[in-house]
Chain A
Amino acid sequence: MRKNLNVIAAYSIMMGLIILVGIFQSWNIALSIFNMCLISAVMTMGANIQWGYAGLINFGIMGYTALGGLAAVLISVDPVQEAWRAGGFDILMCLWLIIVMVLAIRFILKNFEKSKLRTYGIAGIIVAGIVIIRITAEPGIEAIEAVNPAKTGFLGGFGLPIIFSWIVGAFFAAGLAFIVGKVALGLRADYLAIATLLISEIVIAIIKHEDWLTRGVKNVIGLKRPAPYEVDLQTTDWFINLVEKFNSGKLALISNLADRQAALNQLVIEGSSVFVKLCYSGLFLVVVIVLLILTQKALYSPWGRMMRAIRDNEEAANAMGKNVVKQHLLIFILGSAIVGIAGAMLVTQDGLFTPGSYRPMRYTFLIWVMVIVGGSGNNFGAILGGFAVWFLWIEAAPIALFLINLFTSGMADTHVLKIHLIESVPYFRYLMMGLGLLLIMRYRPKGILPEKIEIK
């Protein structure tokens, strides 16, 4: 109990802060911060597995998040029959061609000695394949994008419950991580960082511009929800009764019947949105707890010890007969898969998929700030980092506004400097993030909750 005191204290402070937001701002805001904190925590856990357990630097988090989001679209949206009829055949042909291409390259790689000729042959196959695929796909893509472009213009998905996409998103991300890992994992740490960052930009470029698959920058809106809709709740009897029961004390004070009814309606509307958010919180909490249990188990298993050994001294681990390359690839895939889950959760919560909103600042660097601030190598630290940094990211603007008003209280309201500062309040969050990161790295380089390995 005592040795975990700092963990408990840190989490209590965090929850206290969120509850304070609930009391002073509104429970709606508090819950949406809480939900985003949970999603951030999942992303941070993914990054932490790669960085904290194995020392692999992955600046491609944005790409895996977007792939998770794509999975949510492809799983939950109903298939667009017309588009499938118009261009489905061409797309399937392309898929088949890609498989043939990959198999051909595999065949060459397996059966021929490494030589210049082989390299050129593979390059030739790839170039020819891309040209053939483009020619095959062109009419299909045009036909698909022409089908009711204002509403669909893409192939749609499978029409399954969106919850499944959390697993599928993990597989998508894992698939990408497999390719990236095969390509880039041999690189030195800072090269790996740059390479993953650029690969994630390529992924975003594809998602943004392949309209037949993702609708691109036209966005996909109105995704199905795993939680009830507010409008339905507001007309459901049991929910109205529940709200009435909760607020019976408050309602009893209002004597006028019409007034009481109006107040109840207001409460029901507020309550419904809080209820929906609570549903999400429940779902997300389950994911976070399951992942936490699994990652904790992994950390203290023989496998976790091996990963730390590889992280701390690659050569020694290699000499002990551990396959460093294979383990690096494995952990790269696992971490990315977790980020993929978070990406799907994010789109599920928002109910919309906006490829244009995936920016490295928000989805890669911010997550890294979370990992570093929270404490790399410690799962509780990673989750705390997700909570603390996201909380600050959201509440930075009100805090900055308060500080600006405090320091410029001597100035008139029309003073140019004061107006300028108040207008630029949203950007103070970057300042806070940067300063926070720099201070933590300087004075507490292991994070708020440092890695603690107990030897039993």
Chain B
Amino acid sequence: MDILNSIILLLNYIFIPALSYGSQLALGAIFVTLIYGILRFANFATGDMMSFGTMVTILFTWYLQSLGFSLGVLPTALVAIPFAIMFMIAYMLFIDKFVFRYYRVNKSPPVQLAMVSIGVMFVTQAVVRIIIGPADQRFFDGQKFIIKAGEFKEMTGLNEGLAIKSTQVLTIFVTIVLVSLLFWFLNKTKTGKSMKAYSDNEDLALLSGIDPKRIVMITWIIAGILATIGGVLYGLDKSFKPFTYFNNMLPIFAAAIVGGIGNPFGAFLGGYVIAFSEIFLTYAYKKFFMYILPESMEPESLVQLLSTDYKFAVSFSILVIVLLYRPSGIFKGKVL
């Protein structure tokens, strides 16, 4: 019984939260890695592009809600996402045409493109704050829990409850679907393969007749989809605040680099590596040990490796270690 209790405890406080947080990071990390692999610069506007997509979704959600539209148990935002994605893709292509294209055509060094992306970051951040304001926005509706902690206890007769939020399940489900679709696209379709070739060796790809304009456009379209969905899932699960999104850029970068930048599958796993290590290292294991150890050996302190204040610092330290020992990331190998 105690063993079961301890497993449920870990599931409830570590495994499920880390899985959903990791999925949100993974989507962002694939976004970063695609831009890096194909357009060849570190996009510092990542977090703010995600917040832009989320903002558009929120506005559509509010509009739908004002019409009295509802999906019942599911959040209305799901219906708003496709419209937001279209808007977001238009925004991405607009930025590319008026900002990034010039530097790409001139073959500027990656650092200059990264600097330009900082300019885009400032502008996007300003637009988001001017339109929706810097405050916290909750736009979740529908049913909040699939299983509540209390119900679970009653059902199983265990001491520990297991609460599963519908947003967590939604996050994991959507991530799996989206990422499988993406990998199918990259590995099986002709366009996906030509993207891979372009990322591997630009000159050779151009020689074999691949149209760079088309590749770049498709990259921005995929990026728009990933940014919007990743941002909305995070916003549904926690809440939408422009500043938090900007800050999320940092663990997302960490995930992309840990997974080996330019490698989408690595980025996908990197998201989970970052999420799990953040939560593993900052969780207080006192209760866990109380279940599995005999009473005489029960720990007195919290048995916490690091205080939760250092959550972000954990992922950054992992990144620094990875950069030191394996600058190409854990899952190097094929590029894109």
Contact = CB atoms under 8 A, between A and B. Distances in A.
A134 to B, nearest CB: 9
B257 A441 contact: no
Interface string A123-145: 00000000000000000000000
Interface string A434-454: 110110011001000000000
Interface in A369-428: 369, 372, 421, 423-424, 427-428
Contacts of B124: 434
B309 interface: yes
A427 B320 contact: no
Point out which of B123, B130, B307 has the most chain A C-beta atoms below 10 A from its C-beta: B130
Given A427-B130, A431-B127, A435-B123, A441 B309 contact: no
Interface string B122-141: 11111101100110000000
Nearest to B254: A198
Pairs A-B, 10 closest by C-beta atoms: A434-B122, A434-B123, A431-B126, A430-B126, A437-B119, A427-B129, A198-B316, A438-B119, A209-B309, A190-B42
B129 A424 contact: yes
A187 B118 CA distance: 20
A354 B130 CA distance: 27
A368 B313 contact: no
Contacts of A442: 102
A199 B323 CA distance: 12
Contact of A434 (B114, B120, B312, B324): B120
B17 interface: no
Given A424-B133, A430-B129, A431-B127, A205 B122 contact: no
21 contacts: A184-B320, A189-B109, A189-B111, A193-B114, A194-B253, A194-B319, A198-B250, A198-B253, A198-B320, A201-B250, A205-B312, A372-B115, A421-B130, A427-B130, A427-B134, A430-B123, A430-B126, A435-B119, A437-B122, A438-B123, A441-B119
Interface of B: 41-42, 99, 102, 109-112, 114-116, 118-127, 129-130, 133-134, 246, 250, 253-254, 257, 307, 309-310, 312-313, 316-317, 319-320, 323-324, 327
Contact of B320 (A183, A206, A437): A183
Contact of B313 (A206, A424, A434): A206
Point out which of A57, A195, A365, A369 has the most chain B C-beta atoms below 10 A from its C-beta: A195
Given A57-B111, A208-B309, A434 B130 contact: no
B106 to A, nearest CB: 10
Contacts of A369: 118, 122
A433 interface: yes
A197 interface: yes
Interface string A294-330: 0000000000000000000000000000000000000
A201 B312 CA distance: 8
B124 to A, nearest CB: 8
B118 A437 contact: yes
Interface string A205-230: 11011000000000000000000000
Given A189-B109, A190-B111, A194-B319, 8 more contacts: A189-B110, A193-B42, A194-B253, A195-B319, A197-B253, A198-B253, A205-B309, A434-B124
A190 B41 contact: yes
Point out which of A194, A197, A199, A428 has the most chain B C-beta atoms below 10 A from its C-beta: A194
A45 B121 CA distance: 24
A441 B123 contact: no
A361 interface: yes
Contacts of A190: 41-42, 110-111, 114
A215 to B, nearest CB: 14
A286 interface: no
A75 to B, nearest CB: 26
Contact of B250 (A191, A197, A209, A365): A197
A13 interface: no
A93 interface: no
Nearest to B98: A438
Contacts of B111: 57, 189-190, 193
B53 to A, nearest CB: 18
B115 A187 contact: no
A430 B122 contact: yes
A202 interface: yes
B320 to A, nearest CB: 6
Contacts of B115: 368, 372, 437, 441
Contacts of B114: 190, 193
A310 to B, nearest CB: 16
Given A189-B111, A190-B41, A201-B250, A365 B118 contact: yes
B257 A194 contact: yes
Nearest to A119: B325
Contact of A431 (B99, B130, B309, B312): B130
A201 B316 contact: yes
A187 B324 CA distance: 9
A430 B125 contact: yes
Nearest to A180: B320
B316 A184 contact: no
Contacts of A208: 309
A434 B42 contact: no
Nearest to B36: A190
A187 to B, nearest CB: 6
B123 A431 contact: yes
Given A195-B319, A198-B316, A438-B99, A428 B253 contact: no
Nearest to A210: B309
